[in-house]
Amino acid sequence: MARPRQFDEDQVLRAVRDQFWDAGYTATSLEDLMRVSGLGKGSLYGAFGDKHQLFLRALREYTDTSGGHLREMLTSAPRALDALRAFVLAPVSDPGGTAAQRGCLMANSTCELATTDPDVLAEARRTYEATTALVAECVVRAQDEGDLPRDVDPVATARALLAAQQGIVFMGRTGLDIDTLTATARTLADRFLPDA
């Protein structure tokens, strides 16, 4: 009879997610994963599989959680145009700009692994398509509210907004100062989403 697990699975996944997020997949060792999780190799791999399976699980948890937060942010704003502007400005919205400099785990992982790891490429495509769909729904709402022209293609606009937002994330990873990043993000938001 198998012994019950003596650890909090969600807590372990958050710890290893943060390790992968901060160091990247390649630079994270088994010793790093054991240290941050507090588990031995047998327990860690017995519960989650090998390093690759653990990484994919942590990445999927991250993207699912982020997608839920994005849906809530886009649908709960009283005005869709404000939600779209908040989406573009999200990488520079935290005090000190740590989010922009840390980057997005999905974006970081895409850059590091998508050309060599088909599982990461598939997760990136799934994530970016889901994000595009959520943002496109918000674009349609902004059109219905009279804040965006009816002739604007919602999906093309959503992809452009995602590219703008991710561009800020990538620029942040280079260490660009937060004031410059914020000014750039505001310029992009103003260009794509003029306030009515």
Q: What does the pLDDT read at residue 1?
A: 46
What is the pTM (predicted TM-score) of this model? 0.90
- Model confidence at 5, in pLDDT bands (50, 70, 90)? low
Q: What does the pLDDT read at residue 136?
A: 98
- Tens of pLDDT along 76-104? 999 999 999 999 999 998 877 777 778 89
* Domains of the chain from N-terminus onward: 56-192 (1.10.357.10)
How many helices (H) and strands (E) the chain has is answered by 10, 0
- Model confidence at 175, in pLDDT bands (50, 70, 90)? confident
Query: What are the φ and ψ backbone dihedral angles of 14, each rounded to 5 degrees?
Result: -65, -40
Task: Write b or e for each residue in 151-161: b if 16 or more Cβ atoms lie within 10 A of its Cβ, otherwise e.
Answer: eeebeebbbbb
> Residues near 61 by Cβ (< 8 Å), separated by ≥ 6?
13, 17
> Residues near 140 by Cβ (< 8 Å), separated by ≥ 6?
154
**CA quadruple 13, 108, 33, 48: dihedral positive or negative?**
positive
